[in-house]
A and B are shown apart, each in its own frame.
Chain A
Amino acid sequence: MRSLRLFLVENHADTIKYMQLFLEQLNYDIRVAPDMATALRDIPNSRCDVLISDIGLPDGDGWQLLEKLGSNRPPIAIAMSGYGTGNDQQKSHAVGYSHHLIKPFTPEVLLAILRDAEKLRGDQT
């Protein structure tokens, strides 16, 4: 079975670099974008299984990104944000994110979600 394809949208240089390296080390196929415009351009052709997106982006936010993707949105979407108020979490779930991770989070938290996603994909195929 092929590994999960991930698409990471994050504008913090160190975070994007180390998350990408970490996930590649675990054999995930990962693509990245530093802003919403790049993500909107690249996601439709990426055939990714999971979108992991920061909520605060330089040219918009993660909520707008998912809405603008429309039918091109990946089956699973995970939001990341430094702000974790009830409203933020509700908004993430309302637009279609299955998880809202509050920064900082441990790598294990993300891995657990990705393993569930793999399992879910395995059950569907």
Chain B
Amino acid sequence: MTTRTPGYCDLLQEFGFPAVKIKTTDGEVIEYNNLFSRLVDPEAVREPRRWFTDCVRPEIAAADRDRWEIAFSKRTSVQAQVSFGPINGQELDFEMRCFAEPGNGDAIICIFIALTGPILERLFDAHTAKGCDLERKRIRDELHKGISQQILGAAFAWKILAHKIETLNGSLGKEASDLAALLNDAVRDLQNLMRF
């Protein structure tokens, strides 16, 4: 197993890449982040964060599918299998296979590009799902602790006021009771909303 290259591996994990291990069919186990590290000369990059953001990400996004499909058409014996561990408590295990011709200088790039898209996709999905859960929880808490308390107080306050209005001016009684009914409808609508 190849050793982990400090610096880039840490940087990639900071960007959200987990420590993914890739097992090739000839038994070699390498870390995906280390595979990535093989592609660059650390000395050439003075600002790795900017380099990754400005140069690598657009490259990954614009990866030419034909380019690696052609390379894979010559597939012989290199097969990469990837499995993720859980991220944010969510199980992301999956297997993915890609092929490249050993000895071909582009093979490692082909594997890298082929693996990067799905990995980014999975990571994005995981973070999005977590984000949705957090947002759902935030809205639920806001509803429970904020709006529901305020509307409860308002419903009781209006009943007090409606009673006083009716006592002072009987002709306004209907308006007061209509408004109370409206408020009660709002209470029921909010109750229904909070069930979700």
**Chain A residues at the B interface, C-beta cutoff of 8 Å:** 12, 14-15, 17-19, 21-22, 25, 56, 82-84, 102-108
Contact = CB atoms under 8 A, between A and B. Distances in A.
Contacts of A83: 144
3 closest pairs, A vs B, by CB?
Answer: A82-B144, A14-B153, A18-B156
A22 to B, nearest CB: 4
Interface in B137-170: 143-145, 148-157, 159-160, 163
Interface of B: 143-145, 148-157, 159-160, 163, 184, 187-188, 190-191, 194-195
Main secondary structure of the interface of B (DSSP, over half): helix
Nearest to B164: A25
B187 A105 contact: yes
A99 to B, nearest CB: 15
B191 A15 contact: no
B160 A18 contact: yes
A43 to B, nearest CB: 22
A120 to B, nearest CB: 24
Given A15-B152, A103-B152, A22 B144 contact: no
